[in-house]
Amino acid sequence: MRQRGVALGAAALAGAVLGADVLGRAVGWGALGPGPRESGRVAVTFDDGPSERTPELLAVLARHGVKATFFVTEPACRACPDLLRALLDAGHQIEAHGRWHTHALLLPPWREWAQVRWHPRAQEGGPHLYRPPYGGHSPLTRLLARLTRRQIALWDIEGRDWTGQGAATLAGQTLERTRGGSVILLHDGPAVTPALLDALLSGLGARGLRAVTLNELPMRRIGFRQGLGRLRASYGG
């Protein structure tokens, strides 16, 4: 009897993990995703900052005259308040990436409530975006976001700046997949990202695509067909 209970518990957990990854991160139905494809606008976004890399990213963005969107965490903001201020002063869009950099499934509901509610601009009027760490989130995350008036913001293109590949290779791969409306995910932290960003912004300009903030894009809700396309791209290569 006890064994059966353990097996059922394990199956429920596996189901929750699969559901959060497939329906949350990969498909993303109902969350915010890419903007209008015909617009000629794309958005460059950075997760996990601010960090010691932030000044380099700011310099590259300034050189290209581009405004980006930074999804920051509470611990990083507490560690680097001056860098958070520098991002705001430079006119970049600042959004939330969580009070902890923890996957939704590892947080009990009351901690996830605090996770989703935390926002670096909580005192200001909305919209307030929340990008779940690792993109993983469950139906509970959606409910908490609704209750706290946060909108879950995903992406469609990964810059893959955690893979250890060179900047030129990563920029080439990213540009190949980027289209009008794309939301590109990069990170504020890896050593390769400033050079990758530089090559990426040059490449976008050469293709007639203009990088803007997510508010300017703007993002659109991920619909049924688009969700299926995301699923294929996530697991089918």
| Chain residues that interact with Zn ion, rule: CB under 5 A | 47-48, 133
Contacting residues for 141 by C-beta, under 8 A, at least 6 apart: 24, 104, 112, 116, 132, 152
Q: For residue 196, give the nearest of 157, 233, 235, 234 by alpha carbon.
A: 157
Nearest-approach distance from CB 127 to Zn ion, in angstroms: 20
CB of 16 to Zn ion, least distance (A): 20
70 vs 194, beta carbon nearer Zn ion: 70
Q: Give the nearer residue to Zn ion in terms of CB position, either 71 or 174.
A: 71
Q: What is the dihedral of CA 56, 61, 65, 70, to 10 degrees?
A: -130
Strand partners, 80: none
> Closest CB to Zn ion among 47 and 198?
47
Cβ-closest position to Zn ion: 47
Taking every pair of C-alpha atoms in the chain, what is the biggest distance, in angstroms? 66
Distance CA 186, CA 157 (A): 9
By beta-carbon proximity to Zn ion, the closer residue of 75 and 172 is: 75
For the bound state, the minimum distance from the C-beta of residue 44 to Zn ion, rounded and expressed in Å, comes to: 15
* Separation of CA 56 from chain center: 20
Residue 72 CA to residue 234 CA, distance in Å, equals: 24
* Closest separation in Å from C-beta 80 to Zn ion: 15
Q: Which is nearer to Zn ion, 74 or 180 (CB)?
A: 74
Nearest distance in Å: CB 113, Zn ion: 19
